[in-house]
């Protein structure tokens, strides 16, 4: 008997799409009770899908029975359910990156493992991605089933702020249910807690015109506990500052730091020039004036910012000329050939 608490829904089966393969990436951390219901829901949504697909479940160093449930359910549902086990908890962004790296599909779907995202929306989103020739279709939880004070209001504020600063106008940055063209998302590396800003990162390798949003179903959490709290608001603000800097100045950080440094230096120069006039023209003492220390420290701060810009320019060149390291460590399970371990449809439609 099924454990899933979600009501059954008639799966949507798109036809007439270009030939493709589909990978569904699901990071999971302490979600033991949700593993089997989630896979049942994915099988319900994609069981009659007309193209090969796979599920990549990423265990982000869970401390409960999630690893055992993942292994059991992978054996139960078939070889198209693959498990990537991280050696410790690297947080959601790194787990998502690990799943994207392991995914073999030409279309990649990311979603949460807490049953709040509904896999039944996946075929419709994939259809829009391929038919409209997009690089990303992001989910919009229009009828969000979360608390108003701690989740909805901070999220709305963050969404508007992110859209304003990044230029990528979406109504819901926080929804994990997203559908990507693999050739695009694999050109983006995710670090820290940057999964909230994936559309903004994607805009660094494609045009915002190829990014769209789609209304998706959102369910209230039934099993387990939420991993998010009001404290994430402060992390979002810090991450947003970095995203803004990276999008505007990643190839020219010297302009960012140098501009600040020159401004500080100019203000310090004006202050010291003013004090010099008082000293040498009016003959007044300036040694005990607080303004003297302000001017001095403005000059010092300006010099430091300019030198920081020079160092940032050097680091940028090292970054672009060297290989990119991974933000996670995973246990090796052996590589699969491109034609192995897919959920194969009984009939494949080609156009």
Q: Note whether residue 96 is domain-resident.
A: yes
**C-alpha angle with apex 263: 260 to 267, nearest 5 degrees?**
140
What's the total number of domains in the chain? 2
Residues in the chain: 351
Q: Taking residues 173-190, report their average pLDDT.
A: 91
Burial of 82 (C-beta count, 10 Å sphere; 0-12/13-18/19+): buried
Find all residues with CB under 8 Å of 272, minimum gap 6, and list them. Answer: 292, 295, 296, 299
The string of pLDDT tens digits covering residues 55-113 is 999 999 999 999 999 999 999 999 999 999 999 999 888 999 999 999 999 999 999 99
Confidence check: pLDDT of 351 > 50: no
Question: Given pLDDT bands bounded at 50, 70 and 90, which one contains residue 311?
Answer: confident
| DSSP letter (8 states) at residue 192 | T
Check residues 221 and 303 and name the one with the higher pLDDT. 303
pLDDT score at 272: 92
Of 253, 266, 238, which is closest to residue 307 (Cα–Cα)?
A: 253
Confidence check: pLDDT of 4 > 80: no
The phi-psi region of residue 267 (left if phi > 0; otherwise alpha if psi is between -120 and 50; otherwise beta) is alpha
137 bridge partner residues: 179, 212
Confidence check: pLDDT of 277 > 70: yes
Q: Taking residues 175-183, report their average pLDDT.
A: 94
Q: Are residues 119 and 205 in the same domain?
A: yes
What is the spatial distance between Cα 351 and Cα 348, in angstroms, rounded to a whole number? 10
The string of pLDDT tens digits covering residues 205-220 is 888 899 999 999 888 7
pLDDT score at 1: 40
Structure tokens that stand for 258 in this block? 């140098």
**Final residue belonging to a domain, choices 215, 248, 281:** 248
pLDDT score at 130: 97
**Final residue belonging to a domain, choices 219, 248, 277:** 248
Question: Given pLDDT bands bounded at 50, 70 and 90, which one contains residue 2?
Answer: very low
Of 5, 14, 257, which is closest to residue 121 (Cα–Cα)?
A: 14
**Final residue belonging to a domain, choices 194, 226, 248:** 248
pLDDT score at 349: 45
The string of pLDDT tens digits covering residues 125-151 is 999 999 999 999 999 888 776 555 655
Q: Are residues 262 and 231 in the same domain?
A: no
Of 126, 105, 53, which is closest to residue 344 (Cα–Cα)?
A: 53
* Averaged pLDDT of the chain: 84
Q: Note whether residue 216 is domain-resident.
A: yes
Of 266, 138, 277, 140, which is closest to residue 202 (Cα–Cα)?
A: 138
Q: Are residues 260 and 222 in the same domain?
A: no
Question: Given pLDDT bands bounded at 50, 70 and 90, which one contains residue 162?
Answer: confident
**C-beta separation of 198 from 177 below 8 A:** no
- Measured in degrees and rounded to the nearest 5, phi and psi for residue 235 equal -65, -35
pLDDT score at 86: 96
Q: Tell me the helices (H) and strands (E) count for the chain, helix number first.
A: 10, 7
Q: Note whether residue 10 is domain-resident.
A: no
What is the spatial distance between Cα 315 and Cα 246, in angstroms, rounded to a whole number? 13
Inter-axis angle of helices 153-166 and 232-249, nearest 10: 10
Confidence check: pLDDT of 39 > 90: yes
Structural domain containing residue 243: 22-248
Neighbour tally for 200: CB within 10 Å:
24
Q: Are residues 120 and 233 in the same domain?
A: yes
Q: Are residues 198 and 286 in the same domain?
A: no
Q: Note whether residue 350 is domain-resident.
A: no
Q: Are residues 26 and 168 in the same domain?
A: yes
Q: Are residues 211 and 255 in the same domain?
A: no
Find all residues with CB under 8 Å of 47, minimum gap 6, and list them. Answer: 11
Question: Given pLDDT bands bounded at 50, 70 and 90, which one contains residue 43?
Answer: very high
What is the spatial distance between Cα 58 and Cα 182, in angstroms, rounded to a whole number? 18
Q: Note whether residue 343 is domain-resident.
A: no
What is residue 130's three-state secondary structure? helix
Q: Note whether residue 342 is domain-resident.
A: no
pLDDT score at 350: 45
Chain-centroid distance of CA 269 in Å reads 43
Confidence check: pLDDT of 348 > 60: no
- At 148, which CATH number? 3.90.550.10
Neighbour tally for 77: CB within 10 Å:
16
Q: Are residues 136 and 238 in the same domain?
A: yes
What is the model's pTM? 0.77
Q: Are residues 40 and 82 in the same domain?
A: yes
Q: Are residues 212 and 275 in the same domain?
A: no
Q: Are strands 178-181 and 136-140 parallel, antiparallel or unpaired?
A: antiparallel
Q: Are residues 48 and 167 in the same domain?
A: yes
The phi-psi region of residue 256 (left if phi > 0; otherwise alpha if psi is between -120 and 50; otherwise beta) is alpha
Chain-centroid distance of CA 126 in Å reads 19
Q: Are residues 140 and 154 in the same domain?
A: yes
The phi-psi region of residue 55 (left if phi > 0; otherwise alpha if psi is between -120 and 50; otherwise beta) is beta
Give the end-to-end CA distance of the chain in Å, rounded to a whole number: 39
Sign of CA dihedral 250, 255, 256, 258: positive
Check residues 318 and 323 and name the one with the higher pLDDT. 318
Find all residues with CB under 8 Å of 62, minimum gap 6, and list them. Answer: 28, 29, 30, 31, 32, 89
Q: Note whether residue 150 is domain-resident.
A: yes
Which residues in 204-304 belong to E strands, given as ranges?
Answer: 211-215
Q: Note whether residue 167 is domain-resident.
A: yes
pLDDT score at 241: 76
């Amino acid at each position: 008997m099924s454990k899933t608490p979600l009501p059954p829904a008639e799966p949507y089966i798109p036809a007439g799409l270009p030939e493709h393969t589909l990978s569904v990436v699901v990071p999971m951390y302490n979600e033991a009770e949700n593993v089997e219901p989630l896979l049942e829901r994915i099988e319900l949504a994609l069981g009659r899908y007309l193209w090969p697909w796979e599920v990549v479940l990423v265990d982000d160093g869970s401390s409960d029975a999630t690893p055992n449930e993942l292994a059991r359910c992978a054996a139960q549902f078939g070889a198209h359910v693959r498990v990537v086990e991280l050696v410790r908890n690297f947080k959601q962004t790194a787990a998502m990156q690990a799943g994207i790296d392991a995914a073999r599909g030409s279309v990649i779907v990311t979603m949460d493992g807490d049953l709040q995202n509904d896999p039944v929306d996946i075929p419709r989103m994939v259809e829009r991605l391929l038919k409209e020739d997009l690089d990303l279709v992001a989910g919009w939880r229009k009828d969000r089933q979360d608390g108003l004070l701690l989740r909805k209001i901070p999220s709305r504020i963050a969404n508007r702020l992110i859209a304003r600063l990044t230029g990528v106008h979406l109504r819901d940055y926080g929804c994990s249910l997203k559908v990507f063209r693999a050739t695009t998302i694999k050109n983006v590396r995710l670090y820290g807690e940057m999964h909230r800003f994936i559309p903004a990162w994607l805009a660094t390798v494609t045009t915002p015109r190829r990014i769209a949003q789609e209304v998706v179903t959102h369910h209230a959490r039934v099993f387990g506990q939420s991993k998010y709290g009001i404290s994430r608001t402060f992390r979002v603000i810090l991450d947003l500052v970095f995203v803004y800097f990276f999008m505007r100045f990643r190839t020219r950080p010297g302009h960012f730091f140098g501009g600040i440094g020159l401004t500080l230096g100019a203000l310090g120069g004006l202050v010291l020039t003013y004090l010099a006039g008082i000293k040498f023209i009016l003959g007044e003492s300036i040694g005990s004036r607080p303004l003297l220390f302000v001017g001095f420290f403005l000059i010092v701060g300006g010099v430091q910012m300019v030198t920081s810009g020079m160092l940032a320019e050097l680091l940028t060149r090292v970054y672009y000329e060297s290989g990119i390291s991974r933000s996670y460590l995973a246990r090796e399970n052996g590589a699969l050939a491109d034609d192995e371990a897919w959920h194969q449809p009984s009939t494949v439609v080609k156009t």
